[in-house]
Amino acid sequence: MDVMLREFGRYVDDHNRTDAFARAIAEIVRPDDVVVDVGTGFGLLALLAARQGAARVYAIEQGPYLELARAIAQDNGLANRIVWVPGNSASVVIPEQADVVISETLGQLALEEYTVEYLFDARQRLAKPDSRMLPQELRLSLQPVEVTSLRSHWQTTYGPAWTDVAGFDLRRLRQAVLANEALPYVVHDITERDRLLGPGVEVARFRLGVDTSSRFLRKVSCPVETAGMVDGLLATFDVELSPSVTLSTHPSAPRTHWRQVVFPIVPARLVSPGDVVDFELGFHGNAGWSSVLAQPTSTGADPGTRGAEGSGSGA
């Protein structure tokens, strides 16, 4: 089974994603523009740009989807404006410089497909120096969240059983396991059963076509405004597609197929208004994500437990 092909089916169901890109392309692409679409997949953004009046769209795709994309373009009467370019964008050449670079190569938490690196390269090599970018900016945010459904899952794995193993108290082993284990982030639908315990704090920001690298390692202090149990840090991204269109994976925005990502805090930490959750988040390319929770510095910490330290790797 081709996993990416299955993903394409999910993209089609994600009307908010399609609508946002359609509106942004209508705003950014002008008649007779030459456009590059990095990672065209089944060709959706190329079709939108061609319909918008682009003279030519160079649709670049590294996967085996271009025959399908070409047939779809023919079905929709737009094949004559699209040039299909097989290969990775970093290794292809095209015969002219583009006016606009468009792309949707956003991973589960935006960065995993190296969209920052590839869009910088595409703009440098395949487009005019004053070319327009779509997307333009990407911002990642974190905020403390209470998710009881995830807590019960993590408690089953790391919870009470450790206090009575053949009558022995093995909580010390649990601490060692948690400090050692790579706890990957969890993809989760935040619902009304979950509670956001504080405001979002920006942890990273990238200008597409300008910034060269997605790698970062940053400490962030997330304030708590509502008492509760912090089960993790909710990680969301906002991607500014054009001056008037921003697509967001935050639960307050219309739902997208990306849903939400939670970096787990195990065991959950009891917090009160005025507390701060100190966290260090990093993206390290092929090595994935790292997430480390600092020790609590204020009262209100769950007595008898320590903050989990974990490094997660991306989806």
Ligand X SMILES: C[S@@+](CC[C@H](N)C(=O)[O-])C[C@H]1O[C@@H](n2cnc3c(N)ncnc32)[C@H](O)[C@@H]1O
Query: Distance between CA 143 and CA 304 in Å, rounded?
Result: 24
Count of residues near ligand X by CB under 6 A = 18
Please list, residue by residue across 189-203, b when 16 or more beta carbons sit within 10 angstroms of its beta carbon and e when fewer do. Answer: ebeeebbbbbebbeb
Q: Which stretch binds ligand X (CB under 6 A): 54-62, 149-157, 222-230, 268-276?
A: 54-62
**Angle between the N-to-C axes of helices 3-13 and 15-28, in degrees from 0 to 180, rounded to the nearest 10:** 80
Q: Of 24 and 44, which CB lies nearer to ligand X in the complex structure?
A: 44
Rg of the chain taking only CA atoms, in angstroms? 22
Residues 5-34 contacting ligand X, CB under 6 A: 11
Q: Which C-beta is closer to ligand X: that of 87 or that of 199?
A: 87
Name residues contacting ligand X, limited to 55-74 (CB under 6 A).
Answer: 60-63
Q: Looking at 40, 108, 143, 256, which residue binds ligand X (CB under 6 A)? A: 40
Helix (H) or strand (E) holding 309: strand 309-310
The yes or no reply on residue 39 touching ligand X (CB under 6 A) is yes
Smallest distance, ligand X to C-beta of residue 58, A = 11
For ligand X, which is the closer residue by CB, 78 or 147?
78
DSSP helix/strand/coil, 93? coil
User: Does position 104 bind ligand X by CB under 6 A?
Assistant: yes
Residue 310: both structure tokens together: 């974990």
CA–CA distance, 207 with 158 (Å, rounded to integer)? 40
Binding mask 144-173 for ligand X (x = CB under 6 A): ------------------------------
Q: Considering the complex, what minimum distance in angstroms separates the CB of residue 35 from ligand X?
A: 13
* CA 110 – CA 118 distance, rounded (Å): 13
Q: 29 or 196, CB closer to ligand X?
A: 29
- The smaller minimum CB distance to ligand X, of residues 41 and 228, is found at 41
E strands present in 121-225: 127-134, 137-146, 186-188, 195-196, 201-207, 216-223
Is 145 within 8 Å of 234 (Cβ atoms)?
yes
The reply on whether position 45 binds ligand X by CB under 6 A is yes
Residue number with CB closer to ligand X (45 or 229): 45
> What are the angstrom distances between the C-alpha of 83 and each of 34, 43, 57, 78, 127?
11, 11, 6, 11, 15
| Shorter beta-carbon distance to ligand X: residue 86 or 159 | 86
Binding status of residue 245 toward ligand X by CB under 6 A: no
| Contact with ligand X (CB under 6 A) among 88, 175, 246, 313 | 88
* Residue closer to ligand X, measured from CB, 13 or 192: 13
Q: What is the DSSP letter of 148?
A: H
Residues numbered 111 to 140 that lie near ligand X (CB under 6 A) are 113, 118
Chain positions contacting ligand X, by CB under 6 A: 4, 11, 38-41, 44-45, 60-63, 88-89, 104-105, 113, 118
